[in-house]
Amino acid sequence: MSYKVVHYINQFFANIGGEEMAHVAPELRDGFVGPGMAFNQAWKGEAEIVKTIVCGDSYFAEHEADAKAQVLEWVKAEKPDFFIAGPAFNAGRYGYACATICATVQEELGIPVLTGMYEENPGADLKNKVLMVATANSAAGMRKAAPAMAKLALKMMKGEKIGASCEEGYMPNGIRKNFFEKKVGAERAVDMLVAKLNGKPFTTEYPMPSFDRVAPNPAVKDLSKATIALCTSGGIVPKGNPDHIESSSASHYGEYCIAGVEKLTSEGYETAHGGYDPVYANADPNRVLPVDVLREMEKEGKIGKLHDYFYTTVGNGTAVANAKAFAAEYAQKLLQAGVHAVIMTST
Protein backbone atom coordinates (compact mmCIF):
# COMPACT_ATOMS: atom_id res chain seq x y z
CA MET A 1 0.00 0.00 0.00
CA SER A 2 1.41 3.35 -0.93
CA TYR A 3 0.92 6.74 0.73
CA LYS A 4 -1.70 8.98 -0.84
CA VAL A 5 -0.54 12.44 -1.78
CA VAL A 6 -2.37 15.53 -3.03
CA HIS A 7 -0.30 17.97 -5.07
CA TYR A 8 -0.92 21.70 -5.53
CA ILE A 9 0.43 23.51 -8.63
CA ASN A 10 -0.33 26.69 -10.55
CA GLN A 11 -1.68 27.27 -14.08
CA PHE A 12 1.79 27.51 -15.56
CA PHE A 13 3.01 24.11 -14.39
CA ALA A 14 -0.34 22.59 -15.42
CA ASN A 15 0.35 23.82 -18.95
CA ILE A 16 -2.76 26.02 -19.00
CA GLY A 17 -0.76 29.14 -19.68
CA GLY A 18 1.35 31.90 -18.22
CA GLU A 19 0.37 35.26 -16.80
CA GLU A 20 -2.58 35.57 -19.19
CA MET A 21 -4.18 32.49 -17.64
CA ALA A 22 -3.34 33.29 -13.98
CA HIS A 23 -6.97 34.08 -13.28
CA VAL A 24 -8.20 30.47 -13.54
CA ALA A 25 -10.17 29.14 -10.60
CA PRO A 26 -9.12 25.99 -8.70
CA GLU A 27 -9.58 22.74 -10.55
CA LEU A 28 -9.25 19.18 -9.31
CA ARG A 29 -7.66 16.55 -11.52
CA ASP A 30 -7.02 12.85 -11.04
CA GLY A 31 -3.45 11.64 -10.69
CA PHE A 32 -0.36 13.68 -11.33
CA VAL A 33 0.05 16.70 -13.56
CA GLY A 34 3.36 18.24 -14.74
CA PRO A 35 6.04 18.21 -12.00
CA GLY A 36 4.05 15.59 -10.08
CA MET A 37 5.50 13.00 -12.43
CA ALA A 38 8.96 13.59 -11.01
CA PHE A 39 7.67 13.06 -7.47
CA ASN A 40 5.95 9.85 -8.40
CA GLN A 41 9.08 8.56 -10.10
CA ALA A 42 11.21 9.36 -7.08
CA TRP A 43 8.80 7.61 -4.74
CA LYS A 44 8.96 4.40 -6.75
CA GLY A 45 5.49 3.31 -5.72
CA GLU A 46 5.96 3.96 -1.99
CA ALA A 47 3.83 7.08 -2.36
CA GLU A 48 1.66 8.33 -5.17
CA ILE A 49 -0.10 11.51 -6.21
CA VAL A 50 -3.80 10.69 -6.28
CA LYS A 51 -5.13 14.17 -7.05
CA THR A 52 -3.65 17.37 -8.36
CA ILE A 53 -5.16 20.74 -7.58
CA VAL A 54 -4.46 23.44 -10.15
CA CYS A 55 -5.08 27.09 -9.30
CA GLY A 56 -4.22 30.33 -11.06
CA ASP A 57 -1.81 32.50 -9.11
CA SER A 58 -3.87 35.66 -9.54
CA TYR A 59 -7.00 33.80 -8.58
CA PHE A 60 -5.37 32.66 -5.33
CA ALA A 61 -4.09 36.14 -4.56
CA GLU A 62 -7.39 37.88 -5.32
CA HIS A 63 -9.76 35.28 -3.88
CA GLU A 64 -7.66 33.81 -1.12
CA ALA A 65 -10.53 32.87 1.19
CA ASP A 66 -12.48 31.15 -1.59
CA ALA A 67 -9.42 29.38 -2.94
CA LYS A 68 -8.47 28.11 0.50
CA ALA A 69 -11.97 26.88 1.23
CA GLN A 70 -12.18 25.04 -2.09
CA VAL A 71 -8.77 23.40 -1.69
CA LEU A 72 -9.53 22.40 1.90
CA GLU A 73 -12.80 20.82 0.84
CA TRP A 74 -11.11 18.71 -1.85
CA VAL A 75 -8.18 17.69 0.35
CA LYS A 76 -10.49 16.79 3.20
CA ALA A 77 -12.56 14.58 0.94
CA GLU A 78 -9.48 12.81 -0.35
CA LYS A 79 -8.00 12.12 3.15
CA PRO A 80 -4.43 11.97 1.85
CA ASP A 81 -1.39 11.07 3.93
CA PHE A 82 0.50 14.07 2.66
CA PHE A 83 0.08 17.41 0.91
CA ILE A 84 2.80 18.81 -1.31
CA ALA A 85 2.90 22.13 -3.17
CA GLY A 86 5.14 23.52 -5.88
CA PRO A 87 8.07 23.85 -6.21
CA ALA A 88 7.54 27.53 -6.92
CA PHE A 89 11.17 28.61 -7.52
CA ASN A 90 11.21 32.42 -7.65
CA ALA A 91 7.61 32.94 -8.75
CA GLY A 92 6.38 35.29 -6.03
CA ARG A 93 2.61 34.80 -6.11
CA TYR A 94 2.98 31.06 -6.72
CA GLY A 95 5.37 30.81 -3.76
CA TYR A 96 2.96 32.76 -1.59
CA ALA A 97 0.11 30.45 -2.64
CA CYS A 98 2.13 27.28 -1.97
CA ALA A 99 3.25 28.44 1.47
CA THR A 100 -0.18 29.75 2.45
CA ILE A 101 -2.13 26.71 1.29
CA CYS A 102 0.36 24.38 2.99
CA ALA A 103 0.01 26.29 6.26
CA THR A 104 -3.78 26.09 5.96
CA VAL A 105 -3.88 22.37 5.23
CA GLN A 106 -1.45 21.68 8.06
CA GLU A 107 -3.41 23.75 10.56
CA GLU A 108 -6.95 22.90 9.54
CA LEU A 109 -6.60 19.25 8.61
CA GLY A 110 -3.51 18.18 10.54
CA ILE A 111 -2.00 16.66 7.40
CA PRO A 112 1.79 16.94 7.04
CA VAL A 113 2.85 19.32 4.26
CA LEU A 114 5.89 20.32 2.28
CA THR A 115 6.64 22.92 -0.34
CA GLY A 116 9.74 24.15 -2.12
CA MET A 117 10.89 27.52 -3.46
CA TYR A 118 13.81 29.89 -3.83
CA GLU A 119 14.97 31.32 -0.51
CA GLU A 120 14.18 34.88 -1.54
CA ASN A 121 10.68 34.06 -2.72
CA PRO A 122 8.21 36.13 -0.62
CA GLY A 123 6.44 32.86 0.24
CA ALA A 124 9.56 31.86 2.19
CA ASP A 125 8.47 34.27 4.90
CA LEU A 126 6.43 31.35 6.20
CA LYS A 127 9.45 29.04 6.50
CA ASN A 128 9.16 28.86 10.29
CA LYS A 129 5.59 27.59 9.89
CA VAL A 130 5.83 25.31 6.87
CA LEU A 131 8.75 23.10 5.99
CA MET A 132 10.14 24.22 2.62
CA VAL A 133 12.95 22.89 0.51
CA ALA A 134 15.32 25.54 -0.83
CA THR A 135 15.43 25.47 -4.63
CA ALA A 136 17.13 27.34 -7.45
CA ASN A 137 15.53 30.58 -8.62
CA SER A 138 14.13 29.23 -11.89
CA ALA A 139 12.31 26.16 -13.13
CA ALA A 140 15.61 24.99 -14.62
CA GLY A 141 16.29 23.79 -11.06
CA MET A 142 13.45 21.24 -11.24
CA ARG A 143 15.78 18.30 -11.77
CA LYS A 144 17.40 18.95 -8.39
CA ALA A 145 14.37 20.25 -6.54
CA ALA A 146 11.97 17.42 -7.28
CA PRO A 147 14.13 14.56 -5.91
CA ALA A 148 15.07 16.64 -2.85
CA MET A 149 11.43 17.39 -2.06
CA ALA A 150 10.35 13.82 -2.81
CA LYS A 151 12.98 12.41 -0.46
CA LEU A 152 12.10 14.64 2.45
CA ALA A 153 8.37 14.14 1.84
CA LEU A 154 8.73 10.36 1.95
CA LYS A 155 10.69 10.59 5.21
CA MET A 156 7.90 12.70 6.69
CA MET A 157 5.22 10.28 5.48
CA LYS A 158 7.06 7.39 7.08
CA GLY A 159 7.34 9.33 10.32
CA GLU A 160 11.12 9.11 10.27
CA LYS A 161 13.24 11.51 12.29
CA ILE A 162 13.94 14.68 10.32
CA GLY A 163 17.54 15.82 10.55
CA ALA A 164 19.06 19.29 10.50
CA SER A 165 18.11 21.72 7.72
CA CYS A 166 21.44 21.42 5.93
CA GLU A 167 21.22 17.63 5.87
CA GLU A 168 17.65 17.44 4.61
CA GLY A 169 17.72 20.48 2.34
CA TYR A 170 14.91 22.48 3.97
CA MET A 171 15.27 26.14 4.81
CA PRO A 172 16.35 26.84 8.39
CA ASN A 173 13.04 27.06 10.26
CA GLY A 174 14.13 28.44 13.60
CA ILE A 175 14.40 25.00 15.17
CA ARG A 176 18.00 24.10 15.90
CA LYS A 177 18.81 20.45 15.37
CA ASN A 178 22.01 18.60 16.12
CA PHE A 179 23.80 16.45 13.59
CA PHE A 180 27.31 15.19 12.93
CA GLU A 181 29.40 17.11 10.39
CA LYS A 182 32.11 15.46 8.31
CA LYS A 183 34.91 17.55 9.81
CA VAL A 184 35.54 18.55 13.42
CA GLY A 185 34.64 22.07 14.50
CA ALA A 186 38.21 23.38 14.59
CA GLU A 187 38.83 22.35 10.97
CA ARG A 188 35.53 23.93 9.95
CA ALA A 189 36.59 27.12 11.72
CA VAL A 190 39.91 27.24 9.86
CA ASP A 191 38.19 26.58 6.52
CA MET A 192 35.66 29.32 7.25
CA LEU A 193 38.34 31.80 8.28
CA VAL A 194 40.46 31.11 5.19
CA ALA A 195 37.40 31.68 2.99
CA LYS A 196 36.58 34.89 4.84
CA LEU A 197 40.17 36.12 4.54
CA ASN A 198 40.16 35.45 0.80
CA GLY A 199 36.83 37.15 0.23
CA LYS A 200 35.24 33.85 -0.76
CA PRO A 201 31.70 32.87 0.23
CA PHE A 202 31.19 31.06 3.52
CA THR A 203 28.13 30.13 5.52
CA THR A 204 27.94 30.75 9.21
CA GLU A 205 26.57 27.80 11.16
CA TYR A 206 24.64 30.14 13.44
CA PRO A 207 23.27 33.39 12.00
CA MET A 208 23.20 35.98 14.77
CA PRO A 209 19.66 36.79 15.92
CA SER A 210 18.51 40.33 16.42
CA PHE A 211 18.10 40.90 20.11
CA ASP A 212 15.04 42.43 21.68
CA ARG A 213 16.16 45.13 24.07
CA VAL A 214 13.82 46.03 26.88
CA ALA A 215 13.53 49.75 27.58
CA PRO A 216 13.49 50.43 31.32
CA ASN A 217 10.29 51.75 32.88
CA PRO A 218 10.29 55.28 34.29
CA ALA A 219 11.79 55.55 37.77
CA VAL A 220 9.57 54.95 40.81
CA LYS A 221 8.54 58.41 42.06
CA ASP A 222 8.36 57.73 45.77
CA LEU A 223 10.22 54.66 46.99
CA SER A 224 9.03 55.19 50.54
CA LYS A 225 5.53 54.23 49.47
CA ALA A 226 6.50 51.48 47.04
CA THR A 227 6.21 47.75 47.48
CA ILE A 228 9.39 46.20 46.12
CA ALA A 229 9.76 42.56 45.13
CA LEU A 230 12.97 40.59 44.88
CA CYS A 231 13.44 38.25 41.94
CA THR A 232 16.55 36.39 40.85
CA SER A 233 18.01 34.15 38.21
CA GLY A 234 20.71 33.24 40.73
CA GLY A 235 18.91 30.13 41.93
CA ILE A 236 18.28 31.02 45.60
CA VAL A 237 15.80 28.46 46.96
CA PRO A 238 14.74 27.13 50.36
CA LYS A 239 17.29 24.60 51.57
CA GLY A 240 16.88 21.28 49.83
CA ASN A 241 15.44 22.87 46.68
CA PRO A 242 11.88 21.59 47.36
CA ASP A 243 10.64 22.21 43.80
CA HIS A 244 13.71 20.65 42.20
CA ILE A 245 14.64 23.64 40.04
CA GLU A 246 17.29 22.28 37.68
CA SER A 247 20.91 23.38 38.17
CA SER A 248 20.96 24.22 34.47
CA SER A 249 18.29 24.62 31.81
CA ALA A 250 15.52 25.33 34.29
CA SER A 251 12.04 24.16 33.32
CA HIS A 252 10.25 26.15 36.04
CA TYR A 253 10.57 28.90 38.63
CA GLY A 254 9.87 28.96 42.37
CA GLU A 255 7.63 31.25 44.41
CA TYR A 256 8.54 31.44 48.09
CA CYS A 257 7.17 33.38 51.01
CA ILE A 258 9.58 35.53 52.98
CA ALA A 259 7.02 37.27 55.19
CA GLY A 260 8.66 37.66 58.58
CA VAL A 261 12.08 36.56 57.29
CA GLU A 262 14.60 39.16 58.47
CA LYS A 263 17.45 37.76 56.45
CA LEU A 264 18.30 34.60 54.58
CA THR A 265 20.44 32.14 56.50
CA SER A 266 22.64 29.33 55.25
CA GLU A 267 20.47 26.94 57.28
CA GLY A 268 17.32 28.03 55.49
CA TYR A 269 18.41 28.81 51.93
CA GLU A 270 20.92 27.83 49.28
CA THR A 271 21.52 28.19 45.57
CA ALA A 272 20.44 25.58 43.03
CA HIS A 273 22.46 27.29 40.30
CA GLY A 274 25.09 25.18 38.54
CA GLY A 275 26.86 27.98 36.74
CA TYR A 276 28.83 29.82 39.38
CA ASP A 277 30.88 29.19 42.49
CA PRO A 278 28.13 28.38 45.03
CA VAL A 279 30.33 28.58 48.14
CA TYR A 280 29.78 32.26 48.88
CA ALA A 281 26.09 32.24 47.99
CA ASN A 282 25.48 29.23 50.21
CA ALA A 283 27.39 30.81 53.09
CA ASP A 284 25.25 33.95 52.85
CA PRO A 285 22.33 33.73 50.40
CA ASN A 286 21.62 37.48 50.90
CA ARG A 287 24.59 38.04 48.62
CA VAL A 288 22.41 36.95 45.72
CA LEU A 289 18.94 37.77 47.06
CA PRO A 290 19.49 40.81 49.35
CA VAL A 291 16.61 40.29 51.80
CA ASP A 292 18.74 41.66 54.66
CA VAL A 293 19.37 45.02 52.99
CA LEU A 294 15.77 45.39 51.85
CA ARG A 295 14.54 44.71 55.39
CA GLU A 296 16.79 47.47 56.69
CA MET A 297 15.48 49.85 54.06
CA GLU A 298 11.97 48.86 55.02
CA LYS A 299 12.70 49.74 58.67
CA GLU A 300 14.37 52.99 57.74
CA GLY A 301 11.36 53.88 55.63
CA LYS A 302 13.43 54.10 52.45
CA ILE A 303 11.07 51.66 50.79
CA GLY A 304 7.42 51.13 51.66
CA LYS A 305 7.48 47.36 51.91
CA LEU A 306 9.37 44.28 50.78
CA HIS A 307 6.92 42.04 48.95
CA ASP A 308 6.04 38.84 50.82
CA TYR A 309 7.06 36.55 47.99
CA PHE A 310 10.17 36.21 45.92
CA TYR A 311 10.42 34.58 42.50
CA THR A 312 13.48 32.60 41.58
CA THR A 313 14.91 30.43 38.86
CA VAL A 314 18.27 29.30 37.53
CA GLY A 315 19.56 31.34 34.61
CA ASN A 316 22.25 28.82 33.75
CA GLY A 317 21.69 27.42 30.26
CA THR A 318 17.99 28.20 30.51
CA ALA A 319 16.37 28.81 27.16
CA VAL A 320 15.36 32.43 26.59
CA ALA A 321 11.88 31.29 25.63
CA ASN A 322 11.52 29.53 29.00
CA ALA A 323 12.80 32.56 30.91
CA LYS A 324 10.40 34.83 29.06
CA ALA A 325 7.47 32.56 29.82
CA PHE A 326 8.34 32.40 33.55
CA ALA A 327 8.52 36.17 33.81
CA ALA A 328 5.34 36.73 31.82
CA GLU A 329 3.53 34.52 34.31
CA TYR A 330 4.87 35.85 37.59
CA ALA A 331 4.77 39.46 36.38
CA GLN A 332 0.98 39.06 36.44
CA LYS A 333 1.13 37.79 40.01
CA LEU A 334 3.28 40.76 40.98
CA LEU A 335 0.85 43.15 39.32
CA GLN A 336 -2.11 41.57 41.07
CA ALA A 337 -0.31 41.84 44.39
CA GLY A 338 0.18 45.56 43.83
CA VAL A 339 3.98 45.43 43.58
CA HIS A 340 5.42 48.70 42.27
CA ALA A 341 8.94 47.69 41.36
CA VAL A 342 11.18 44.65 41.14
CA ILE A 343 14.85 44.21 41.86
CA MET A 344 16.07 41.43 39.59
CA THR A 345 19.44 40.04 40.57
CA SER A 346 21.56 37.98 38.25
CA THR A 347 24.80 36.10 38.83
Partner 1 sequence: MKLELGYIQINDIQFSKECKVENSTLFVDPDAVKAFMYEDDDVKAWVKDFSFDVAKPGESVRITPVKDVIEPRVKVEGPGGVFPGVISKVDTVGSGKTHVLRGMAVVTAGKIVGFQEGIIDMSGPGADYTPFSKLNNFVVVAEPVEGYQDHKHEYEHAVRIAGLRAATFIGEIGRNVTPDETQEFETLGIKEGIEKYPDLPRVAYVHMLQTQGLLHDTYVYGVDAKRTLTTIINPTETMDGAIISGNCVSACDKNTTYHHLNNPVVKALFAAHGKTLNYVCNIITNENVYLADKQRSSDWSAKLCRLLDLDGAIVSQEGFGNPDTDLIMNTKKIELQGVKTTIITDEYAGQDGKSQSLADADPLADAVVTGGNANEVIILPKMDKVIGTLDYVDVIAGGHAGSLRPDGTIEAELQVITGATNEMGFNRLSAR
Smallest distance, partner 1 to C-beta of residue 325, A: 10
Cα separation of 15 and 18, whole Å?
8
Q: How far is CA 256 from CA 83, 142, 226, 242, 263, in A?
A: 50, 60, 20, 10, 14
Cα separation of 53 and 126, whole Å?
21
Length of the chain: 347
Q: Which of the stretches 57-65, 84-92, 240-248, 291-299 binds partner 1 when contact is defined by CB under 8 A?
A: 240-248
What is the phi/psi pair of residue 2, to 5°?
-105, 160
Q: How many residues bind partner 1 (CB under 8 A)?
A: 59
Cα separation of 283 and 269, whole Å?
9
Asked if 42 touches partner 1 (CB under 8 A), the answer is no
- Site track for partner 1 across 184-203, x = CB under 8 A: xxxxxxx-xxx-xxx---x-
Asked if 248 touches partner 1 (CB under 8 A), the answer is yes
Cα separation of 322 and 250, whole Å?
8
Q: Which of the stretches 14-22, 51-59, 100-108, 311-319 binds partner 1 when contact is defined by CB under 8 A?
A: 311-319
Q: Which of the stretches 31-39, 64-72, 85-93, 209-217 binds partner 1 when contact is defined by CB under 8 A?
A: 209-217
Cα separation of 116 and 6, whole Å?
15
CA angle 68–69–70, rounded 5-degree value = 90
Residue 62 or 181 with smaller CB distance to partner 1: 181
Asked if 162 touches partner 1 (CB under 8 A), the answer is no
Q: Is 60:107 a contact under the CB 8 Å cutoff?
A: no
Q: Mapping DSSP to helix (H, G, I), strand (E, B) and coil, where does residue 313 land?
A: coil
Asked if 255 touches partner 1 (CB under 8 A), the answer is no
DSSP string covering 97-110, please? HHHHHHHHHHHHH-
Q: Mapping DSSP to helix (H, G, I), strand (E, B) and coil, where does residue 196 land?
A: helix
Asked if 239 touches partner 1 (CB under 8 A), the answer is no
Asked if 178 touches partner 1 (CB under 8 A), the answer is yes
Asked if 211 touches partner 1 (CB under 8 A), the answer is yes
Asked if 335 touches partner 1 (CB under 8 A), the answer is no
Asked if 166 touches partner 1 (CB under 8 A), the answer is yes
Residue 37 or 193 with smaller CB distance to partner 1: 193
Q: Which position among 210, 217, 222, 328 is part of the footprint of partner 1 (CB under 8 A)?
A: 210
Q: Contact residues for partner 1 (CB under 8 A)?
A: 164-167, 172, 174-190, 192-194, 196-198, 202, 204-211, 244, 246-249, 251, 273-279, 315-322, 347
